[in-house]
Amino acid sequence: MTTLGLAVRNLLRNRRRSLATLLALAIGSTAILLFAGFSANIKLTMETTHVRTGGHLQIQHRDLRTYGSGDPTSYGIAEAPSIIEAIARDETLRDLVLVATPMLQFGGIAGNYSAGVSQTILGIGLVAADQSKMREWNAYNIPILATPLGLTGTPADSAVIGTGLARILQLCEPLNIAGCSRPEAKKAQESGVRIPDDIAGLSAQETVSQAGESGAGDARGGSQIEILVSNARGAPNVASLNVVHTDTQPIKALDDVYVALHLPQAQRLIYGAASPKVTAIALQLRRSDQMSAAIARLNVKLSDWAAGQPLLVLDFATLNPFYVQTIRLFDTIFAFILALIGGIVLFTVNNTMNTAVVERTVEIGTLRAIGLRRGGIRGLFVAEAMLLGLAGGVFGIASALIAAFVVNHLGLEWLPPGNAGAMPLVLRVWGEWTTIVWTTAGLVVIALLSAWWPAYRAARLNVVDALRHV
């Protein structure tokens, strides 16, 4: 306590230099915490987006990720409803899993032949009610509006497409998409381009089949597109779909190819009268920290439920390598900023301590002459550095919290690279206690390291030389 009291008095004795050093530490702490808060928000926002659309975990065929990019339907899962039912009955998984839903992914071509345009697509067959429930997941309170999937409550031949795909297929006007219009060259052309006879014939057969199954007429709204795919037997198949809604995807590359339709419609399009399959079973958990427990349980029970199918469980990070790459990029940038600010703090505190040693040489000699040991001299300067580090960390935390509060309430947005739409700019400082503690501890350690050499020099001063120092 005597050492700490003397350290406080010594810091107050030269207020300007102590304040300048304290500000350097506080600014460094603030910068680190603000960037850490920005990085944390990016990570949690991306995680929330992936969990809302594809779940925490997916059950897939073992070879789907390796060989299925060009032909995903050849690696489908049979009897998916029985697997989902077994998951719902399992005494462990039923408390962890919030939503378990099948998905069917396929590739094809979408055409708007009235405009004479087409585009390769990524089609996904979904259970609309399950997907709408998944979109409500927001364990981290991310300020992103949870909107239900536009397929909910729509007829069997309905589809939802990405806003980018709607622009490519020139459906902006029929779908009333703001800020999107037809090209001037197309406006000058006459409308009513005739659908090719072969496509029209396939589409007519599919429409008759759907009408016979549902007993409904051709009550359509929105805008019609034709989907051309290769079915499970390798033959071409076409479906005429009614676009009822657009759904902007977080990544532009996906937004330009995204088509979502009802799962039975997708299964009929791909498998026809054959036994329907799915390419994945998505599992959304109540919390992200439950993934390890869910994976362990699935690995034990899945072989019994899969009836000999070679299935495996993948988490959302494995399924989305861009997410992992982004997190690693921000971690690398954070490490660079931490090293840069740490170096600045190191030299600032070192300069302060060196100056203090020079100014207090006679005082050091006097303390040594009255019996204070060298360890006491070292402890005195190290205590001063520790107090500076702690005070700088505390002021840095306070200023970072204030700055984050102001930014978060300004309603600012930013456009991440590759994204189709802007995202809220949020700095998550409050609640990131691990980062706050480690940042403050790191500043204290840097301050102690900075003071060690000046303190060692002060303790090694010759008493007689120190007393006659001018």
272/395 same-domain check: no
330/434 same-domain check: yes
What beta strand segments (E) does 182-278 contain? 223-230, 236-246, 258-262
Opening angle at CA 409, ends 403 and 413, nearest 5: 95
204/344 same-domain check: no
Distance between CA atoms of 161 and 258, rounded to whole angstroms? 5
Considering the domain boundaries, does residue 381 fall inside one?
yes
Distance between CA atoms of 107 and 93, rounded to whole angstroms? 32
Phi–psi pair at 305, nearest 5 degrees: -80, -25
**Residue-number span of the structural domain to which 376 is assigned:** 2-46+324-467
Distance between CA atoms of 407 and 403, rounded to whole angstroms? 6
Please list the residues that pair with 58 across neighbouring strands.
Answer: 282, 314
Map tokens 């065929």 to a residue.
61
278/351 same-domain check: no
Give pLDDT tens digits for 299-349.
999 989 988 899 999 999 999 988 899 899 999 999 999 899 988 888 888
Residues composing the chain: 470
- Output the pTM of the full model: 0.80
Two tokens, residue 209: 């089949």
What is the amino acid identity at position 365? Answer: G
Considering the domain boundaries, does residue 285 fall inside one?
yes
Considering the domain boundaries, does residue 438 fall inside one?
yes
252/329 same-domain check: no
pLDDT of residue 132: 93
Packing angle of the helix pair 374-408, 361-369 (nearest 10 deg):
130
Packing angle of the helix pair 374-408, 15-54 (nearest 10 deg):
50
Considering the domain boundaries, does residue 55 fall inside one?
no
Give pLDDT tens digits for 439-460.
999 988 988 888 888 777 777 7
Considering the domain boundaries, does residue 335 fall inside one?
yes
Beta strands 158-161 and 413-414: pairing type?
A: unpaired
The domain boundary residue, chosen from 309, 335, 357:
309
DSSP states of 313-348: EEEHHHH-HHHHHHHHHHHHHHHHHHHHHHHHHHHH
The domain boundary residue, chosen from 276, 309, 342:
309
CB 176 within 8 A of CB 186: no
Q: Please state the domain count of the chain.
A: 2
Distance between CA atoms of 39 and 22, rounded to whole angstroms? 26
42/138 same-domain check: no
Distance between CA atoms of 437 and 256, rounded to whole angstroms? 43
Considering the domain boundaries, does residue 404 fall inside one?
yes
33/97 same-domain check: no
pLDDT of residue 466: 63
Q: How far apart are the first and last CA of the chain?
A: 31
Opening angle at CA 283, ends 278 and 289, nearest 5: 155
pLDDT of residue 183: 65
122/19 same-domain check: no
Give pLDDT tens digits for 44-82.
988 998 999 999 999 999 988 888 777 787 888 999 999
Q: How many CB atoms lie within 10 A of CB 401?
A: 18
The domain boundary residue, chosen from 286, 309, 332:
309
Nearest to 42 by CA among 333, 249, 314: 333
Distance between CA atoms of 380 and 3, rounded to whole angstroms? 6
273/328 same-domain check: no
282/341 same-domain check: no
Phi–psi pair at 265, nearest 5 degrees: -65, -45
Please list the residues that pair with 240 across neighbouring strands.
Answer: 226
Distance between CA atoms of 351 and 18, rounded to whole angstroms? 11
- The contacts of residue 121 (CB under 8 Å, 6+ apart) are 107, 108, 109, 110, 165, 227, 257, 258, 259
Nearest to 442 by CA among 390, 373, 370, 400: 390
- The contacts of residue 452 (CB under 8 Å, 6+ apart) are 382
Distance between CA atoms of 309 and 304, rounded to whole angstroms? 10
What distances in angstroms separate CA 408 from CA 38, 270, 312, 368, 424, one per listed residue? 11, 47, 41, 54, 9
135/273 same-domain check: yes
Considering the domain boundaries, does residue 314 fall inside one?
no
165/250 same-domain check: yes
Considering the domain boundaries, does residue 319 fall inside one?
no
Q: Is 14 left (phi over 0), alpha (psi -120 to 50) or beta?
A: beta
CB 168 within 8 A of CB 117: yes
Residues in the chain with pLDDT values less than 70: 1, 181-222, 417-421, 464-466, 468-470
